Each structure stands twice: as structure tokens, then as C-alpha cells.
Amino acid sequence: MAKRISLHEFQAGLARRLAEARDTRASAFLGVQAGKRHWLVDLTEAGEILAVPPLAPVPLSEHWFRGLASVRGNLFGVVDFAAFHGDQAIAPAGHARLLLVGVRHNLNCALLVTRALGLRSLEDFELLPSSPDADQPWIGDQLRDARGTAWTRLKVADLLNNSRFLDAAQQS
């Protein structure tokens, strides 16, 4: 027979669990690899991550703008995040994933990444000295994990507001 608890005990337990979940989420990041670089995306900024659906190419667009993807009937512009940074283009197969980053900002934008690397906590990283790059304001803190791998925090809002990122039309 199920144990009976009072409504007050239930609410107190629920409030405690929600507070613990909020504390955990506050320091949680999604690790992704795009080309040779490792990125950390704050979970509050990261949207859904999914296998790469078929991409419809867009003529006269930059090489890093891979096209449009239909995700549950909604069109998303897909940016090859490695190619956007001058790295080799990502093949949209195998371990490659789409990270829907613009939903929270009312933009249907997805980043094509080489692979998802799972959840990470900031406590697992050492902050490295770095200076902001005015040309790439989406590049946040530089970090290193215990294995010596370099990571970069992605500032999604700054990326989505950057004129170079928003202008995918092929430059003459």
C-alpha cells in the first residue's frame, strides 16, 4: 500500500527538488564539436539537438550557409559552424548534428556541428586568460578541461545578432 504524506510535505519536497534541478541546470552546458574546435553552449541557450535531416540548398548563399531544413514542418536556416569559422565543411551525416539555437530568440536557426559531446559542468574546466575579439563577439571564455582540451563558450545571443552571421547572401 502506498505511503500517505501530507500536502505540505509533498509541496516542500517538490520545491526542494525543483531548487536542486535549477542549481544543476545553472552550471550545465552542452558540449559540441564543430570542425576542430570544442564549444560549450549554455543549456538555457541551447535548443534541441537532432540528427541532420535532408538539407535544401539555397542558391547564391555563402558556402557556410548549408541550406534549409524542415524540422516538424518548420524551416530552419542551417549554418555549418565549422565552415563559418574558416574550418573544413562538415559532412551532414554520421555523427553530425543540428543544434537549434535560435528558437529562444524567435529565429529559426540551426548550427551544423560535427558531433554532440554531452553535458558538461563549468566546475570541470579551468578558465584561461583571453581577450574579447571585436570581430567575433560570440566567442566567450576560453577554457581547458582536465585532459588539456581547449573549449570556447559560445555566446548565442551575440552570434545571432551579428551582421556577418545574419547575412548569408553570397558576397561578390
Residue range 48-62, pLDDT digits in tens: 999 999 999 999 999
When divided into structural domains, the chain yields a total of 1
Q: Is residue 140 part of a domain?
A: yes
Q: Is residue 43 part of a domain?
A: yes
> Of the given ranges (8-22, 43-57, 86-100), which has the lowest mean pLDDT?
8-22
Residue range(s) defining the domain that contains residue 151: 28-166
- What is the secondary structure of 39-62 as a DSSP string? EEEETTT---EEE---EE--TTB-
Q: Is residue 10 part of a domain?
A: no
The predicted model scores a pTM of 0.82
Q: Is residue 20 part of a domain?
A: no
Q: What is the CATH number of the domain that holds 65?
A: 2.40.50.180
